[in-house]
Every structure is written in structure tokens, then in C-alpha cells.
């Protein structure tokens, strides 16, 4: 048995909340963060709201811009 869709959705949401938490703690707007890593502000909004299944590469960029270790983005 694999993981339920509900559980998966929770992971997406928690990841998004973690990003938002770190972004706000740095005093960045979504646009600031987006510009920092050359992604669209639309993407940041989608990610923070748990609407996307982020990729490793995007997570690496986010961690870099937020000044944390990659693994910290997955601590929730």
C-alpha cells in the first residue's frame, strides 16, 4: 500500500507553509523571493498554497534563497 491522496496533499500544504514561514521571517515578499531565484511570483503563490508538487530543483533554489539547508524545507 502506498500513501493516500490526503496524505500527499498534506505534504504539499506543509511544504508551502514552511516556505511561507521562512520567507516571511526574512521579510521577503513573494515577488522578492521569486526574483531572487528567477521563478515567477505566480509559482511562489502556487507553491505556498500547496497547489503544486514542487521539484527538487525548485526546492534547492528556494532553500538557497531562504538561507537554509535543503533538508530544513522538509522539516514539518
Partner DNA sequence: AATAAAGATGACATATATGTTTACCCCAAA
Partner DNA sequence: TTTGGGGTAAACATATATGTCATCTTTATT
Using CB under 8 A, list all residues that contact a second copy.
2-3, 7-8, 11-12, 15, 36-38, 53-57, 59-61, 64, 70-75
The CB density around residue 63, as the number of other CB atoms within 10 Å, is 19
Min. distance of Cβ 75 from DNA in angstroms?
A: 19
Among 18, 19, 22, 54, binds DNA (CB under 7 A): 54
The CB density around residue 10, as the number of other CB atoms within 10 Å, is 14
Rule CB under 7 A: say whether 51 interacts with DNA. Answer: yes
**Residue 15 binding: pick among a second copy, DNA, none (C-beta 5-8 Å cut-off by kind):** a second copy
3-class secondary structure for 7-46? HHHHHHHHHHHHHHHHHHHCCCCHHHHHHHHCCCHHHHHH
Amino acid at each position: 500500500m502506498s500513501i493516500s491522496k490526503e496524505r500527499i496533499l498534506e505534504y504539499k500544504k506543509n511544504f508551502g507553509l514552511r516556505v511561507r514561514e521562512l520567507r516571511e521571517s526574512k521579510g521577503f515578499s513573494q515577488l522578492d523571493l521569486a526574483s531572487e531565484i528567477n521563478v515567477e511570483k505566480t509559482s511562489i503563490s502556487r507553491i505556498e498554497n500547496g497547489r503544486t508538487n514542487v521539484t527538487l530543483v525548485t526546492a534547492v533554489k528556494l532553500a538557497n534563497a531562504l538561507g537554509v539547508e535543503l533538508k530544513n524545507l522538509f522539516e514539518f
